[in-house]
Structure 1
């Protein structure tokens, strides 16, 4: 494990592991990426430590990490961590099993990661509930054709915020005996007991204090200037916009923290003088 504040940090909202996660990479890069993916957060992933665990030298590993960065699997930077007394900027190495483009990493730096749209299941949530309704109340066992026909009506309940427990209670409570037409009874209850729409509370977002830096020269820069994780100078082109300051108004930029701390120390009275006071 790395020292506190260092080491691997997994990026959020990654897809589940599959057998072809890194097949688009070169063989050595894919092997290193799979190894990094299996490490827990906080693991030391410096080239010196990786060289002890993997059959590659430090130069080869440094090249591989740069290629993983270019492919969108890795970014290096800093993040502000709040303690009870101070705000500390600590080094982070973010790893993503899912390859991300520069726009995603820029949004991640702002703490505004776009949510990926989940793949549509073969059967909807409404169809699955209707097909399993007979387990809760055998008298309401439905055919596949009934489930397909009633699926849109039940979908309205989910759109209005109803839970599965509430729907099951509305459909199965106080059933007549016997039930002559299960599909007709379910259709009528879905229509007559349709709840009003619920107003969802707006999502609460916490601003992230996070920066990224060039993978080559390690200089902090705006995410928009780090194409493939490299600044314009290291890419051999225009250096791009100047680094932006993240954090509350008046916060010291990352690149100015050491200078500010040196000025503070220079203004402190020596310990011997403080004791005489």
Structure 2
């Protein structure tokens, strides 16, 4: 809140707030307009305060947005001259930001401000730019911060995002993507959302997705089967009938082929032995 006598002043003869009041504005201006529209009377509306009150835009971006909102007919900055109190000298000024959720033209603003504020002169408020520390937000905080761009009725302050961050993060921990989380929060809204923070807290609880089923860790096999024939080890399903694929090659399980191969090997070895015997016998006869 601003000091007494300063801050936001609602312009007279406004229409009731409705969904879509600011859809004609660019996303940044619509987001900030929705935030300002919900501020109470006499709330501070300088760029520094508004930059701290929401998570998306810094002071320079807020200044630019306020200028655009003024051009669009939603805002006028004025100062009112206050007569000096008894014993005081000089001129005192009180600064107000007049706000209208309904866009107005210059003539309307001139009449409204003159009638409400008396002797006023439009004047830009110069604030000292203060560099804030840059801290990268979490993915959940970022989703919450951008909701106001998708749906102005859900524009949140920085404090709101911080308060809801843990619950939103649990959605992401349960396998929801940032886009899915954002869609779940903005879909099916009522015509008016009076408290975005309270509404989203309830929705985050009521629509919380189930926890992801964690598959049991794969256990290392405790027992392996060996092929009855060649003794190659393998899982039971890989050795039907107790034989590996190679040993099951023929209709007889491969035994005929293995018998033929073994017979050929024995015959070859026998021939080598016979030749060796003949060689030895010949050598003895020569001696």
| TM-score bracket for this pair, using the shorter chain length | 0.3 to 0.5
Q: Which has the larger radius of gyration?
A: 2
TM-score (structure 2 length as normaliser): 0.39
- Bigger relative contact order, structure 1 or 2 (CA pairs below 8 A, ≥6 apart): 1
